[in-house]
A and B are shown apart, each in its own frame.
Chain A
Amino acid sequence: GNSVTQMEGPVTLSEEAFLTINCTYTATGYPSLFWYVQYPGEGLQLLLKATKADDKGSNKGFEATYRKETTSFHLEKGSVQVSDSAVYFCALSVYPSGSARQLTFGSGTQLTVLP
């Protein structure tokens, strides 16, 4: 089956520090990969995505590269801000498959950025 494994949290960083949140996956078929962000008290928002190997998704200074050889999609940001404090979820969707319309989520990583 499909699964996503995320780096255990919580992660606490100082403002302007470099961020990496690791994500690895197992999947049947050809997955698309996503990072979602959840701010306190809100629903999940799509942060970035990559739909094929070697694609780089980017948004708001965050980046992640789809690495098929290592089955990874690590999230990075060069200089985090207090406003980046949130929970980050890695997710995948596989097409074609019986669950083509479903996203499989990792367990989430809580990020806290201190001023």
Chain B
Amino acid sequence: NAGVTQTPKFQVLKTGQSMTLQCAQDMNHNSMYWYRQDPGMGLRLIYYSASEGTTDKGEVPNGYNVSRLNKREFSLRLESAAPSQTSVYFCASSGQGGVTNYGYTFGSGTRLTVV
């Protein structure tokens, strides 16, 4: 099925461990995004990539790095996980018409717990 695929779906890390969240889309979208979702706070943008080869910080980038590997893939890395990074992470993409007109397509999320 076409869409945005995130892996893994669940992950438990110990404080200080590192990991990479993977995201891939097969809709030929230019722009990709990483959000985190915390109770009562909605979704907050971590990083985004407007097009292949570019990345920019969002609202809450500290503690994260990203890589736009190619047009399809956009990964999020936690170099040294902290309990404050316990959250649900969503990857999203937007197409040629732009998010202004068409919004995002979201992945199903990664539930990360840091102990």
| Contacts from A to B (Cβ < 8 Å) | 4, 32, 34, 36, 41-46, 49, 51, 89, 91, 93-95, 100-103, 105-108
Instruction: Output the nearest chain A residue to B107 by Cβ-Cβ distance.
Output: A43
- The secondary-structure label for the interface of chain A is strand
Within 8 Å of chain A (Cβ to Cβ): is B63? no
- Bound complex: CA of A39 vs CA of B51, how far in Å? 29
**Residues of B in contact with A, size category:** 20 to 34
Contact present for B106 and A105 (CB under 8 Å) = no
Our pick among B33, B43, B50, B102 for the contact of A89 (Cβ within 8 Å) is B43
| Contacts from B to A (Cβ < 8 Å) | 4, 31, 33, 40-45, 48, 50, 58, 90, 92, 94, 98-109
Contact present for B99 and A89 (CB under 8 Å) = no
Enumerate chain A residues within 8 angstroms of B41, measured Cβ to Cβ.
Answer: 107
CB of B88 to closest CB in A, whole Å: 9
Contact present for A107 and B40 (CB under 8 Å) = yes
The 3 A-B residue pairs with the shortest CB-CB distance in the complex, in nearest-first order: A43-B106, A107-B42, A105-B42
Enumerate chain A residues within 8 angstroms of B104, measured Cβ to Cβ.
Answer: 44, 46, 103
With contact pairs A44-B90, A107-B41 given, residues A101 and B50 touching in the complex (Cβ less than 8 Å): yes
- Bound complex: CA of A91 vs CA of B94, how far in Å? 15
CB of A62 to closest CB in B, whole Å: 15
List 17 A–B pairs whose Cβ atoms lie within 8 Å, in order of A's numbering: A32-B101, A42-B108, A43-B90, A43-B107, A44-B90, A44-B104, A46-B103, A46-B105, A49-B101, A93-B100, A94-B100, A100-B99, A101-B98, A102-B45, A102-B58, A103-B103, A107-B40
